[in-house]
Structure 1
Amino acid sequence: MNRKMILCFVVMCLLAFSLQIAFAAEAPNKLPNIKILATGGTIAGAGVTSTTTVGYTAAVTPVGKLISNVPELAKVANVSGEQVSQIASESMTMEIWLQLAKRVNQLLAQDDVDGIVITHGTDTLEETAYFLDLVVKSEKPVVLVGSMRPGTAMSADGPLNLYRAVILAGTKEAAGKGVMVMLNDTINAGREVTKTITDRVDTFQAPIIGALGVFTGDQPVFYRKSLRKNTTETEFDVTNLKSLPRVDIVYHYAGNAGTMIDAATNAGAKGIVHAGTGDGSIGKQEYPAIENALKNGVVVVRSARVGSGIIARNGEADDDKYGFIASDNLNPQKARILLMLALTKTTDVKEIQRMFWEY
């Protein structure tokens, strides 16, 4: 080997070594790009004192301040924010849902967005999560996060919840898990989670079914996956939707004579979710109003007010005879969401029942 060949070989080795060092130095700094979409809620709230955890004002802190209040976010992701709305979530509307869903789909279609975090009030967080679970068209992670204490409170839970939600949204293992909810170190499926306690930080649970996973330190650990179809597997598309069909929930109680069923029918409801007792029972005094609703083309879903459990088809009512739909294990508020989306596709009760078994 002559001197020229030796020199070329040395140069090539040095070049390869320098490139290896450069790649090694660059790899740890390659952070996921996470978009935070803010809608308001307690996580953006403020109280008069550090001990104010009731009677505070929700939805006052803008998304930029939420991000700057957690400087540790810069260590785990390239974060940017966008204010979609600024409301307490009991004031959530279908118009905001559609706006949010369309924006989520736009962002996730971009190569420079790896995941999305949505800050949200806890009152209707589970509803927004399930709606998005049915209409988001990407397997990239989407995580809803909120808090039970305003940011001004002693031991506020919002900053840590947000920090870990961003980590979760940037984790490869979170892809394909459907829309998730992250509070109190617990990862839940948007379809299955519900708010179970009025005022505690461990309020979000998935009764009977359980969580998808948990955080241990800053590491999300998954133990299962929801088997119901979601996101890219669903037949629902909100791209051209400007509104959703009206669906009302009617709560059953002892002595209910069907007055609220008639009210929903007369108000133009296209669907009614009956939150029945036990296994979705309907009182005999309600049947005249129910039959009137059916004659007026209203689609009726049987759910239950008890909070968890499966509604057995043809169990506490003759679903085949009346054309009722059994809600499976969806609670009334989530059954309403699926019925609204189902009614954008069909009014055929057999088809809608299929959707309730699949989603």
Structure 2
Amino acid sequence: MKKTLTSLALALSLLSPHLYAKNNVVVVATGGTIAGAGASSTNSATYTAAKVPVNDLLNAVPQIKDLANVSGIQALQIASENITDRELVALARQINDLVKKPDVNGIVITHGTDTLEETAFFLNLVIHTDKPIVIVGSMRPGTALSADGPLNLYNAVALASSDDAKGKGTLVMMNDSIFAARDVTKAINIHTNAFNSQWGALGTVVEGKTYWFRETTKRHNNTSEFNIEDIKTDTLPLVQIVYGSDNMLAQSYLALQQAGVKAIVNAGTGNGSVPKYIVPTLNQLQQQSIQIVRSSRVPQGFVVRNAEQPDDKYGWVAAHDLNPQKARLLTALALTKNADAKELQRMFYTY
């Protein structure tokens, strides 16, 4: 009986090979710690990022071949703090071209952790696809004891090749956890459990299998009103962040005005608070067509509109629960559509 079943399975696989075919996953490498190397195995915090090419990364984890048909592309080879809007736009166009190919089922992007959340959120907004796009990094270089990169990469390929990851938005795979690109953030700089979300992980990957516990309710990818194909320039409208504290200087904002910013994200204290001695400067800038967005330096919670400051009166925007770095990206994309303050506020509640 067992022999008959085996023969039947073999015959079916020959007649219908697509039933047994693995999905095709493209790994797009950009550098970062996951491609880093230290002087010795005990160097987990002191190392050189962006040293290992994509093919070496893939060859170091041969088990991924059991999950999918994997190929690699070297898009960038830099530490992620060096990524600018220009690299973001170029990377998004490359990913957009890849997801349009019928023989590509999923994308994995290896990335430095410093700005991983920004790249993930940007792709979440501008790439129209239901195919899984997974961003992954590591906190330790591959040369370190207990390097986390190989397992993170294995899990990322498992996630990107999983049919149940379709339509769930751009995802971040770190330390066994699946996060939504919109609300994940780097919270620790020396431990492997570096990423979290105040709203919790979407799920987890265990031994190459995905388990899901929630979904994001915000617009993303196919449902987004933004599209990388609509961005005709190589960069984005200039938006910058000013970090809130005690003893602030109005000159910090005026210098950005001179640099040509189109909007300023104020990473305020508490509920996006703005000192009373800074308010006149921000109102002056807003009246000169520079958008003012109130975000917060506090890692959890959200900025309440018309609390602390009369946003309606001033024509300011509350960033809701988006942190300053993600507020910067959403504002820049909104400005590509010439959004006014009211429209920008809608977008912060929508995305």
Deviation at 1:29, TM superposition (A): 4.5
Q: Which residue of 2 aligns with 1:223?
A: 213
Structure 2 residue 249 is the aligned partner of structure 1 residue 233: no
CA distance, structure 2, for counterparts of residue 38 and residue 171 of structure 1: 20
Equivalent runs, 1:15-94 vs 2, <5 Å: 20-23=11-14, 26=17, 29-94=20-85
Q: Which is higher, the Rg of structure 1 or of structure 2?
A: 1
Q: Structure 1 residue aligned with 2:280, among 288, 294, 307?
A: 288
Q: Could you tell me the TM-score, scaled by structure 2's length?
A: 0.95
CA contact (8 A) 1:346 1:352 kept: no
CA contact (8 A) 2:127 2:222 kept: yes
Q: Which residue of 2 aligns with 1:249?
A: 241
CA distance, structure 2, for counterparts of residue 310 and residue 54 of structure 1: 32
Deviation at 1:259, TM superposition (A): 2.1
Q: Structure 1 pair 286/18, CA: closer, same or farther in 2 (3 Å)?
A: closer
SS at match of 2:159: helix
CA contact (8 A) 2:27 2:72 kept: yes
Q: Structure 1 residue aligned with 2:302, among 304, 310, 314?
A: 310
CA contact (8 A) 1:303 1:327 kept: yes
SS at match of 2:327: helix
Q: Structure 2 residue aligned with 1:355, among 330, 344, 347?
A: 347
Deviation at 1:23, TM superposition (A): 4.4
CA contact (8 A) 1:245 1:270 kept: yes
Equivalent runs, 1:1-359 vs 2, <5 Å: 20-23=11-14, 26=17, 29-207=20-198, 209-239=199-229, 240-359=232-351
CA contact (8 A) 1:140 1:175 kept: yes
Deviation at 1:312, TM superposition (A): 0.7
CA contact (8 A) 1:258 1:287 kept: no
CA distance, structure 2, for counterparts of residue 332 and residue 291 of structure 1: 19
CA distance, structure 2, for counterparts of residue 346 and residue 47 of structure 1: 46
Deviation at 1:284, TM superposition (A): 0.6
SS at match of 1:328: coil
CA distance, structure 1, for counterparts of residue 61 and residue 249 of structure 2: 53
Deviation at 1:256, TM superposition (A): 0.9
Q: How large is the RMSD of aligned CA atoms in angstroms?
A: 1.6
Q: Which residue of 1 aligns with 2:4?
A: none
Q: Could you tell me the TM-score, scaled by structure 1's length?
A: 0.93
Gaps spanning 5+ residues in structure 1: where?
1-16
CA displacement 1:192-244 (0-9 Å, x = unmatched): 1000011110010001x000001222211010100000001111122233220
CA displacement 1:85-109 (0-9 Å, x = unmatched): 1000010111111111111111111
Deviation at 1:27, TM superposition (A): 5.9
CA displacement 1:314-357 (0-9 Å, x = unmatched): 01110011110110100000000100000000231111111111
SS at match of 1:356: helix
Q: Which amino acid aligns with 1:256?
A: M
Gaps spanning 5+ residues in structure 2: where?
1-7
CA distance, structure 1, for counterparts of residue 9 and residue 303 of structure 2: 64
CA distance, structure 2, for counterparts of residue 333 and residue 129 of structure 1: 12
Q: Structure 1 pair 217/24, CA: closer, same or farther in 2 (3 Å)?
A: farther
Q: Which amino acid aligns with 1:232?
A: N
CA distance, structure 1, for counterparts of residue 177 and residue 252 of structure 2: 37
Identity across the alignment (%): 48
Deviation at 1:152, TM superposition (A): 0.4
CA displacement 1:274-325 (0-9 Å, x = unmatched): 0011111100111122122112210010000011211111011100111101
CA distance, structure 1, for counterparts of residue 138 and residue 13 of structure 2: 41
SS at match of 1:64: helix
SS at match of 2:277: helix
SS at match of 1:72: helix
SS at match of 1:313: coil
